[in-house]
Structure 1
Amino acid sequence: MKEYGAAIVLLFLSFQLFCCAGLMCKIGSIRHSRDPSVFTLNQANVQKCREDANYCSAYMCTKVGRLGFTQIIWSCSPNNDTSPACREAMNKLMEKWTRKKGHQCRCHFGEIGQDIGNEQFVLPPIPDGLMCKVGELNADAIGKTSKGLCMHDDHYCFMANCTKGNEFLKIEWGCTDYATLTNINAQIGQTAKAPVECKAIFGEKDLDYSNEHFTYSMLAMAMATTTEQTMPNSTSIITQKSSTTVKPRTTTNEGEPITGYYAGNNARGMRAMFFMEKMLIAFLAAFRVVFADL
């Protein structure tokens, strides 16, 4: 998106945004996380916005799962666009800064010309857990599905086709902690009270309802292949035979501490974190100027 790229360029020109006379708004950010390697931020105060700012704004973003967090960013804006495009732009921005997917962001604004109109918006709680499509269909296509809250340690939504012996058992949608067939076979076999063999599609880690739009053709593709593949949308299709031992990874890129924006506890990391946080807040103001023309 050209406008998005232009906003990034404006980021480096926007440090003077809050030095000029204008609307008074709450400026800053609060962030809490379940991940102990993520620095807990709590910095906000009332500042003057640039003269073309008409609204005090607040951007709230959350993420579920073991690495779940919640963040609110208070800023200034020339407009009060609450369209889905604003939410999507914030989702992409948070993905870029945190290097994680699955954010749910919202854009809020005070009344036009109202000083400190964004003070009413507060930090939302960290989501309880992953949400997935859950349910099953038996051999007669009888069953039902719904939206369900997963266990605290679950990180993946899946769709699986399972057999018991030489007979079709069911198609199941649900949640799991590791994206391996060994894990799915054990999980579904426990409820079936018998050994089962499954083929499954897994959504992206810690992404709500990532199995909601999985289709039978996608599952059939998984059943027809014999190696691990990656769909264009980065959805993993895993079809190892159940006799293959697939050990869950105990350390992944998702589980490693993040450097830079989410710096560690050393002094350099702390300085970098505060600097980048200020850049993010300044970026939002510059971004709103460009975004108003979309």
Structure 2
Amino acid sequence: MAGKVALLLWAQTLELAGAQTTQLLVEPPWILAVLWDRVTLTCQGSGTAGDITWYMDEWSWRQEGLGHFNVTKSGTYRCYRRGSGLSPPVTVLNDWLVLQVPARLLLEGDTVTLRCRWRQDLSVTGVRFYRGNEEVRMSLNGTELSLSRQQLSHSGRYRCGGQMHSCVSQSWEWRESAPVTVTVTVHLPVANATITPGPLSHQVHAGDPVTLRCSVQVDSAPVTFTWLHNGQEVARGPVLELGDVDVGHSGTYQCVATNQLGQDGHRMFRALSPELALEGYWGDLGEN
């Protein structure tokens, strides 16, 4: 008597929305980053560290399987992970004058501080801040602009300028930073979490590889994903790799999508996906 195992995936197949992509984290967490801050870049996403490729100024720069490294040259950096694709760019500058914005989601009602920075070999006085062509504030000594209780109207292109003294030329001249885009976002609690199975079929056989992907249709990033198997946490991240399935994988699967909103993350929202049932049964093939 011979036998086989068949596993049935019961779930409504939905279009994958809001798929998780590779993220390039910068420390210290500022946009734009400056070379003299000893910047560290970390590549986050799906897949293993050995699948990471780094790029500087659109050229493949190094591929050593490193998940992070210390920046020693100014330029625009990106990283690629085989499991989640290419990251958005991060620019590290070595300009004379730089306006920095916190590298986080800027939400309505929060307070954000913009910093006007310059290299240590320079002197700057009379710092001014601008949104578009409009001066926001003048400060004789201050180097920071605080936007309290942010509103959507605070969004725009900001820059700073000041009278700069160069130790080399021994002269004063007006200098301005490159403009930086500030985007204030409305609060979007995470919602409509769904699971998409792959391969996209209602039936897979024992030994077949199965991947479950969790996505959300509405959210304010960053979103974290947690996987539950029969109510118990089994993994984290947007993708759950079951590998070669067998009867031991039977049960119900759910993903929990979470985002924390607000400057201190004091508003937490969760979305629980519908259950996906992975059921196994034995079927007789009869005598060979």
Give TM class, smaller chain.
under 0.3
For normalisation by structure 1, the TM-score amounts to 0.24
For normalisation by structure 2, the TM-score amounts to 0.24
Hey, which of these two has a bigger chunk of helix by percent?
1
Report which of the two structures shows the higher radius of gyration computed on alpha carbons. Answer: 2
